Structure 1
Amino acid sequence: MNPSLQVGKIVITPENIFPLLAEKQMIAPLAREIILDQAVANIECTSEETMMAEQQFFMQMQMNPNEPQQLQTWLERNYLTREQLQQRILRGIKLEKYKQQTWSNDLESYYLKRKRQLDKIIYSLIRTKNPGQAQELYFRISEGEKEFAELARQHSQGAESETGGLIGPVELTVPHPEIAQKLMTSQPGQVLPPTRIGEWIVILRLEKYLAAQLDQNMKRRLLDELFNTWLNESIQKEVQFQLQGE
């Protein structure tokens, strides 16, 4: 007898489960779960790690570990066995170990590759659609007649007028590429002449350049980037392979 699951009037069977998963856009999430389970299958946890993971689970679920009936009720509601639950609550620890084992030796080279995008800048911006006004504002700033921030509040036509034109700190990937390129090659305090960027005429001034550092927070971020890139590529590859095999 083939197993089935009934939800309301819908009966899910081996014959209709694939088109149903596709319709509900659940193939990629399912593939993700399977790939992650396979990745951590051979990774072991210590007894201390297991105990901590279980304690955290009971706290999150607001359950008393000394009342087994609470856990049994939860398992039945979620269609899980005790063994399956333990695998679920240990997977976070196992994934962190897997990331470290797989990519920790690549972090420095990946950081150097990404560093230019990870550096941050603080800059000031005035934008207008009037070329004549932009030129006038530039001369007033250059000649010291008015402060950049004051003119930005009065004349800039974007949200930056609220902050006196000041933006940041932001990574170099955040501003428009042409703005980022100009600021990367300028000196702090240098006011750049009006430049057309799309529909806007902009006046820029680099306030500060903040070089990225490979500290613990950065390592954590880059490790997650490498992991997510691998995971997304694996999902695409595995799902496409299964579809081709049909």
Structure 2
Amino acid sequence: MNNSLSISSRDIIHYIKISCQIPVVVEAIASDRIITDTAEKLGITVEESQIQQEGDLFRANKKLVRAKDTLAWLQQHHLSVDDFEELIYKKILSKKLANHLFGKKVESFFFQHRLNYLAAVTYEIILDDKDLALEFFYALQEGETTFADIAREHISDPDTRRNGGYRGIRRRADFRPEVASAVFAAKPPQPLKPISTNKGVYLIWVEEIIQPELDEKLRSQIISELFNSWLKQELSEMQISDRFDSTTNIQNSPDLLMQA
């Protein structure tokens, strides 16, 4: 067996094409153009000192402590030093544009959509039998059993069973709509009356409802959400023309399409 392999740029492009990733790449290129053009129109610039600072942070996050570690990482990703600087530059430019467009809109958006940022700590079990779920619900209310005991007997996944059905901290959007309305109307800690869905019957223990606070993490998240929505809208209004010849083989093989 030959252990050497030579891969060309053409091979890479062809693989991207046949793995149906071209639309993703084209959209990413278009997004980059939109960000660059909009930032230029608004006079947003990036200072050399900002590139240095962001580059240092990037290397720290990647654990590229030594110069040779950084060079090895660049080689692995086929990047030159100039490419790396461009990567950092575009990262900063995108962040600065997002803050310019939406930084002053965060507070009003947060208060208008505050309910969406409520979070809940829950434990969940999905059962097939609604009568059994109701039996467990009433037993929980009467203190005849614990949620952990039910989870131990009725959750098949080992990790979830060991955690007692714990689902962590989730926001409203992370729940199924029919589940979210019941969860966020609860007065924890308490079990919810079983909820039937097409996935099964949910037996849920609501441990805590967490009120949202507009800290720096949430502020950054909201700016990112608003920016991504804006970018998606811009993309929808843009006519994108690429030069990939994807129709030749289809036109030469009409039988392939006739069988669909």
Question: What TM-score comes out, normalization by structure 2 length?
Answer: 0.66
Matches within 5 A, 1:185-196: 185-196=185-196
Structure 2: 5+ residue runs without aligned partners?
1-8, 12-19, 243-260
Aligned mates of 1:56, 1:201 — CA distance in 2:
47
Aligned mates of 2:163, 2:145 — CA distance in 1:
16
Residues 94 and 125 (structure 1 numbering): CA distance in 2 closer, same or farther, change over 3 Å?
Answer: closer
Residues 153 and 39 (structure 1 numbering): CA distance in 2 closer, same or farther, change over 3 Å?
Answer: same
Matches within 5 A, 1:125-144: 125-144=124-143
Matches within 5 A, 1:1-246: 24-25=22-23, 26-41=25-40, 42-52=43-53, 89-156=88-155, 160-239=160-239
Aligned mates of 2:189, 2:57 — CA distance in 1:
51
Q: CA deviation at 1:160?
A: 4.2
User: Counterpart of 2:257?
Assistant: none
Count of aligned residue pairs for this structure pair: 214
Structure showing greater radius of gyration is 1
Aligned mates of 2:168, 2:55 — CA distance in 1:
42
- Superposed CA offset, 1:114-149 (max 9, x none): 322221101222331123322322232222221121
- Superposed CA offset, 1:166-192 (max 9, x none): 322111211221111111112102322
Aligned mates of 2:195, 2:173 — CA distance in 1:
19
Q: CA deviation at 1:217?
A: 0.8
RMSD: 3.7
Q: Which amino acid in 1 is paired with 2:195?
A: T
Contact 1:128 1:134 in 2 (8 A): yes
Contact 1:123 1:206 in 2 (8 A): yes
Contact 2:155 2:161 in 1 (8 A): yes
> Which segment drifts farther, 221-230 or 192-201?
192-201
Residues 206 and 58 (structure 1 numbering): CA distance in 2 closer, same or farther, change over 3 Å?
Answer: closer
Q: Which amino acid in 2 is paired with 1:217?
A: K
Name the SS of the counterpart of 1:186 in structure 2: coil
> Which segment drifts farther, 186-195 or 202-211?
186-195
Residues 219 and 130 (structure 1 numbering): CA distance in 2 closer, same or farther, change over 3 Å?
Answer: same
- Superposed CA offset, 1:139-164 (max 9, x none): 32222221121112112466743321
Q: Percent identity?
A: 18
Contact 2:35 2:97 in 1 (8 A): no
Name the SS of the counterpart of 1:117 in structure 2: helix
Contact 1:128 1:157 in 2 (8 A): no
Name the SS of the counterpart of 1:238 in structure 2: coil
User: Counterpart of 2:258?
Assistant: none
Question: What TM-score comes out, normalization by structure 1 length?
Answer: 0.70
